[in-house]
Chains A and B, each alone.
Chain A
Amino acid sequence: MFVLIFFLLGLLLIILQTTVFMINPVWNGAPDLYFILVAYLAYRHDLFRSLIVLFPLAMIFDVLSGLVLGMYPALFILGYFLLKVMSDRLPVRESFYQVPMIGVGYLLVNWLVYVCMSFAVPSMLVPWSWPIMFMRAALVVLFSFPLFRLFEFVNRRIEGKFTGFYKGRLRSGNRYRE
């Protein structure tokens, strides 16, 4: 259930990103909502389920955006592992610090992928622009607050449903009264 619902949520974010948030074909101000989902999964969920959600989404993104197949899976997976390591190793487990870390992770992952791609397909990319990338990182951070709340809400609902189901089957522990 978790995988299906978060996959659908991710799909919705991708569709929003490629339609509503893209005002014109050369618009640079669309927030990379997919990265917020990547960050949420990296911070809150285990590797196996997260990858099951992220991999098909990355492939869909690959089809809808860009010219180089495999670029988005690289961005998704790299982003996921980077944020996972950052949240596990660095002493910044509070949500207050985690959200700005998403922006930092976003910049770092994008820069790494861009560097790799500029070696592989140098003439295909729009030149790197720090102001634009900073703006997009800020947008990611800005959208992280409401989206994290949404993801948390959905997650609680999913967990609540199953917890409720198991609660009904729990025994009281008093064997003599049963």
Chain B
Amino acid sequence: MRKKGNRKPKGRFRALRLILLIGFLLTMALIFLVSTFGSQKFGPLHELLFEAAGPVQNLFARGSDALRSLKQNYVDLLSVKEENKRLTAELQECRTLSFKNREALATNTRLRKLLDFKESSDLPMVAARIIGKDPSVWFRNVIIDRGSRDGVARGMAVVNGDGIVGQVFSVSPNFSKVLLAVAPSSAMDVLLQKSRARGILKGTGSLTYELDYILKTTEVNKGDQVVTAGYGGIFPTGLPIGVVSKVVRKRRGMFQHIEVTPSVDFLTLEDLLVIEQELVIPEEKGDGLPDVP
């Protein structure tokens, strides 16, 4: 309810307001009538007014847009630092995740290869991981995390998905030392898969083997596969060892000089399998050499 005030509007103002209201209503009614029943023609006067108002409108619209843009830029600038921080952290996270994924993929591939190899063979095997490497330049050994408690014994063959890696040299309850096949003191009985010629494969200390005792009369070519012969019972027959990479027939001597590239990548060795087969190893010799077939 409206309270009655002490101050009353004066009579002439009241009349003026009434006139204004009536005038407004009449104008609206006129506009309505004209727009409804009129000719609707956009005349020269309209055009003139339109042309006069357009630039002003345009000016204001542009100004307003510029101001809005400026304000938006300022607001963006305020938030961009936070955004930058967030995105950098996100990128770092993504990179770490990507690296982990790549690592997991590589591990998966490696382990799958090992598993395939293990499944393809009916020999008992124990998986092992390299935990240390011989830092000397004169020997080539690695230390694995499996020992006599896991069934590993001296002389057992060590392989991975690509072929022969070496032979167990010494064992403690939980760890073993593996003499790599590329070590100069390593020697294996092997066969050239194509010609079935038998020879002795020796390590050189570098990433190649030397295949000895192959007669000059034997046909040997670059790319020939070399596999284990299986004599002596240490290495199972037919395991891949490498590929012939160089053949030299010297004038003198009965044998060829053959270089073999290992099938195993010794630079990226990580996971191995120890073939747990019963071995009859004679008493250790004084020189500490492993028994070769």
Task: List B residues 171-192 near A (Cβ within 8 Å).
Answer: 179-180, 182-185
In the complex, the answer to whether B182 meets A66 with C-beta atoms within 8 Å is: no
Q: Would you call B185 and A132 a contact (CB within 8 A)?
A: no
- Check B134 for interface membership: any CB of A closer than 8 A: yes
Within 8 A of A (CB), among B183-225: 183-185, 204-207
Q: How far is the CA of A112 from the CA of B181 in the complex (A)?
A: 27
Please tell me which stretch of B83-91, B111-119, B265-273 contacts chain A, meaning at least 4 of its Cβ atoms lie within 8 angstroms of it.
Answer: B265-273
Q: Which A residues touch B207, using CB under 8 A?
A: 26
Q: Is B131 an interface residue (CB 8 A)?
A: yes
User: Does A127 contact B205, Cβ atoms closer than 8 Å?
Assistant: yes
Near B by CB (< 8 A), chain A positions 111-139 give 114, 117, 121, 123-127, 129, 132-133, 136
A34 to B193, CA, bound (A): 45
Give the dominant DSSP class at A's interface.
Answer: loop
Cα A19 to Cα B129 in complex, Å, equals 13
Given that A25-B266, A69-B288 are known contacts, is A64 also in contact with B138, CB under 8 Å in the complex? no
> What CA separation (Å) do A69 and B180 show in the bound complex?
18
B92 to chain A, nearest CB (A): 25
Q: How far is the CA of A21 from the CA of B142 in the complex (A)?
A: 14
Please state if A64 and B288 are interface contacts (CB–CB under 8 Å): no
B182 near A67 (CB under 8 angstroms)?
Answer: no
Listed in ascending order, the chain B residues whose CB lies under 8 Å from chain A are 130-143, 169, 179-180, 182-185, 204-207, 266-269, 287-289
Q: Which 10 A-B residue pairings sit nearest by Cβ, starting from the closest? A: A126-B205, A22-B133, A124-B185, A24-B267, A18-B132, A30-B135, A65-B134, A125-B138, A17-B135, A25-B133
